[in-house]
Amino acid sequence: MATSQLDLIELLRAIDPEAPLAERHLWLMQLLDWVRGDTQDPDMAVARVRMLIDAAEVRPDWLKLWQHWWEEFLTTMDATPLLADLGFAPQDSFTSELGHRLQRKLMPPTPETTDLSELFPLLFPTEFDGRWLRALDARTLTRLRTVLFRAAPDAPPPNVNDYAIRTLLDAMMFAVTQICAIGHSAPVRTRMSADAKRDRAFAVLPQAFLAVREAVQAHGRASAPAVIAIGQLREQLDACRAAAQTVYIHLEEHGISVQIEFQLRQLRQRIIRMKALLLCLETDVPVQATTQLLSHLVRVDHESRSMRELMSDSTELLAAKVTERNAETGQHYITRDASEYLHMLGAAAGGGAVLAGTTWIKLLIGAVGLTAFWGGLAAGINYAVCFVFIMLMHWTVATKQPAMTAPAMAAKLRDINAPGATDQFLDEVGHLLRSQFAAILGNVGVVMPVVIGIAIAVESAGHHTVMDHRHALQTLSNHQVLGPTALFAAATGGLLFLSSLVAGWVENWFVFHRLDSVITYHPRITRRLGAERARRWGTYWRQNISGYAANISLGLMLGLVPPFLGFFGIPFEVRHVTLVAGQIAAAAHELGPQVIHRPAFWGAVGGIAITGLMNVSFSFWLAFRLALTAQGIGTVNRKRLYAALRRRMLRQPLSFVLPVRLNPRPHTATEPAPPAASQTAPPDSQPTDPTQPSG
């Protein structure tokens, strides 16, 4: 403590009201750094503030210097941008704010400034500043105001109250201007409800603020007219916020825009800031309100620097919408009874047969010897075409399902505290896992014999396959269970998850821009296709755009990501369970029946199992976490779900593999019985008749 007192005395002696602007600000930064100290204890910082007040009280000469310093500070610094704009984007644009935050990280501010919003991060650089500001008690704040901001008794005090009120009113004027600008912008205004447009809340807001300003300037901030005007302004702010909320109804129905969501968040936060400024204007204890406002600004300033916070806040609603659309699609991939289970086996068998041809085409592309990019592009087109063909035939690819079905399961948790919600979720997990088992069994069980059958047919026609003896041995070596297979398979699961995000985003973009309506009604399109055919095309693409986007994006990523990463020296190979099984079958055929005596063969067979496990589990885990976040499921409820899942696995393990009947659960009067088995379209039946668009 003695060392702290000596440091404080040195700081007090260093004050110089006549110093250049930057040096004065550096002195204030050093003083606040002394208040923070070396600990993260708010009480210790408060004790240092009291020590500063005590030292100032016994030094009247220093108080005169301080008063001079403070007058220079008030006359040179503009506090309005701090109160009105700190923490907000310079423009109401997500991309411009992203660039602004990146610039702030790369280019720190300078203390040589007259803009208090630029100096503020240097004065309060840590989140701890907000904590010790909140910890200041009423007695300490009163002494701080009396000693430091009243000067010596024989010196005329500056008109701080006039300065504060003038600054508050100016900041509120700027805030009202920004609120009205967002509320009147075309993307927000055109999406409000009819009632909100009729009430014209944003048009009335400036008039309400002018009434406050005139009442405060004419009668004082504590007068009856000012109190009434402030109350009316607060009600008008609530009306603006309610009008903005109606935009979400339109977005939920017609698609989400990150840009509009960003504007709405800025609008809500500016209204909150406006109310905080009103509180400082009307409070009977302005020093406490000012301190709380400073603490709030410290938190806002730190949040406004975070790139992660910006991405999370601005894309949360879009993530919810993407998972919601994937949930609708994912219902088609979940089997709930024995007949649907058998149908999944058949659909997966069809997909496995197609992927057998995909395997040989991929091997042929590799044998041609194209450069990395063109070889990857050719492989990606091969995958994409085959995946789309499988979709149009209403067949399925096993590993594509988890990223689509996880949101469908999370949709069961919208009301997690409702009776039976956890059990319904566990039922859905069981349906999903056995659907995956059936799909992988159908894919792998068919792709291997069909690959061998194609090889036999080619050889019987007098030709050689593209798989030679050396290539076959290399294939078995590359897919060993103890090699990098698990890591590559998990990364491939990440690509499966990304394809589901692409699908949800593309569908949201299609709906947001109302392209189905454009196709159906645009005169140039209807003249070319005819009204009826244009209507069918619009309906078809509205229903199937997500499926096309998922399959095409997945195929291209599987082909292009390996050469792209290879360009940067990052080794990566696609490990897709069905394609891996096909390649191993081709290698086994080339090596002959004696291959079963090779340890490398059985190691590769184990690699098929680990590849399927990692494909499914990793893509499902990523999609499920996103879906839980979008549904707002907290940590406590997540732990409860995981515990219930472990109990179900111990008590009814076969329910996760085979379509066995689950033990019935008793239902109370408040718990509705679970719905009957789905009678909707069979798995992978998302697309309608592929011939429909052609009329």
Range of the domain at 385: 340-663
- One-letter amino acid of 224: A
Q: Average of pLDDT values for 629-635?
A: 70
What's the pLDDT at 176? Answer: 96
- C-alpha to C-alpha distances, 554 to 146, 486, 543, 548, nearest whole angstrom: 68, 19, 19, 10
Same-domain status, 134 and 88: no
Same-domain status, 408 and 504: yes
**Above pLDDT 90, what percent of the chain?**
53
What's the pLDDT at 406? Answer: 57
What's the pLDDT at 398? Answer: 76
pLDDT tops 80 at residue 331? no
Lowest mean pLDDT among 371-380, 476-485, 653-662: 653-662
- One-letter amino acid of 555: G
In 3D, which of 493, 329, 337 has the Cα closest to residue 430?
337
**pLDDT tens-place string over residues 194-243:** 999 999 999 999 999 999 999 999 998 889 999 999 999 999 999 999 99
Question: Distance between CA 141 and CA 650 in Å, rounded?
Answer: 61
What's the pLDDT at 393? Answer: 93
More confident residue, 311 or 679: 311
What's the pLDDT at 124? Answer: 93
More confident residue, 3 or 122: 122
What's the pLDDT at 150? Answer: 65
Same-domain status, 512 and 598: yes
In a domain, 106, yes or no: yes
Q: Average of pLDDT values for 43-71?
A: 92
Same-domain status, 244 and 352: no
Q: Average of pLDDT values for 475-499?
A: 92
Lowest mean pLDDT among 245-254, 557-566, 567-576, 586-595: 245-254
Q: Average of pLDDT values for 503-521?
A: 89
What's the pLDDT at 537? Answer: 95
More confident residue, 353 or 546: 353
In a domain, 217, yes or no: yes
What's the pLDDT at 428? Answer: 76
78, β-bridge pairs: 115
Backbone angles phi, psi at 670, to 5 degrees: -95, -5
pLDDT tops 80 at residue 418? no
Q: How many domains are there within the chain?
A: 3
Is the CA virtual torsion 256, 262, 263, 264 positive or negative?
positive
pLDDT tops 60 at residue 663? no
**pLDDT tens-place string over residues 93-144:** 666 777 777 777 777 888 999 999 999 999 999 889 999 999 999 999 989 8
Same-domain status, 643 and 577: yes
pLDDT tops 50 at residue 688? no
Question: Distance between CA 657 and CA 661 in Å, rounded?
Answer: 12
Q: Is 115 exposed, middle or buried (0-12, 13-18, 19+ CB in 10 A)?
A: middle
- pTM attached to this predicted model: 0.69
Q: Average of pLDDT values for 558-576?
A: 94
Same-domain status, 233 and 273: yes
The secondary structure of 62-89 as a DSSP string is HHHHHHHHHHHHHHH-B-HHHHHHTTS-
In 3D, which of 151, 250, 247, 235 has the Cα closest to residue 201?
235
In 3D, which of 582, 517, 508, 579 has the Cα closest to residue 549?
508
If pLDDT is split at 50, 70 and 90, which confidence band does 437 have? confident
Angle between helices 338-368 and 421-460 (to 10 degrees): 40
Cβ atoms of 410 and 331 within 8 Å: the answer is no
If pLDDT is split at 50, 70 and 90, which confidence band does 669 have? very low
pLDDT tops 70 at residue 682? no
Same-domain status, 450 and 487: yes
Q: Average of pLDDT values for 576-595?
A: 94
In a domain, 680, yes or no: no
pLDDT tops 60 at residue 694? no
Cβ atoms of 416 and 422 within 8 Å: the answer is yes
Question: Distance between CA 150 and CA 146 in Å, rounded?
Answer: 5
Q: What is the DSSP letter of 21?
A: H
What's the pLDDT at 195? Answer: 94
For 107-175, what is the HEC assignment?
CCCCCCCCEHHHHHHHHCCCCHHHHHHHHCCHHHHHHHHHHHCCCCCCCCCCCHHHHHHHHHHHHHHHH
More confident residue, 274 or 37: 274
If pLDDT is split at 50, 70 and 90, which confidence band does 365 have? very high
Same-domain status, 476 and 597: yes
What's the pLDDT at 689? Answer: 42
Same-domain status, 249 and 382: no
pLDDT tops 60 at residue 403? no
For 470-539, what is the HEC assignment?
HHHHHHHHHCCCCCCHHHHHHHHHHHHHHHHHHHHHHHHHHHHCCHHHHHHHCHHHHHHHCHHHHHHHHH
Same-domain status, 426 and 556: yes
What's the pLDDT at 413? Answer: 66
If pLDDT is split at 50, 70 and 90, which confidence band does 186 have? very high
What's the pLDDT at 332? Answer: 55
**Above pLDDT 70, what percent of the chain?**
85
Lowest mean pLDDT among 373-377, 547-551, 663-667: 663-667
Same-domain status, 511 and 615: yes
In a domain, 669, yes or no: no
What's the pLDDT at 667? Answer: 42
115, β-bridge pairs: 78
Lowest mean pLDDT among 256-270, 412-426, 486-500, 526-540: 412-426
pLDDT tops 90 at residue 400? no
What's the pLDDT at 288? Answer: 86
Q: Average of pLDDT values for 385-410?
A: 76
Same-domain status, 87 and 176: yes
In a domain, 684, yes or no: no
pLDDT tops 50 at residue 160? no
**pLDDT tens-place string over residues 235-271:** 999 999 999 999 988 887 787 777 888 889 889 999 9
What's the pLDDT at 312? Answer: 65
Which CATH number does the domain housing residue 353 bear? 1.20.1080
In a domain, 461, yes or no: yes
What's the pLDDT at 497? Answer: 86
In a domain, 672, yes or no: no
If pLDDT is split at 50, 70 and 90, which confidence band does 51 have? very high
pLDDT tops 60 at residue 598? yes
What's the pLDDT at 580? Answer: 95
In a domain, 671, yes or no: no
pLDDT tops 70 at residue 295? yes
Q: Which two tokens stand for residue 262?
A: 């960003």
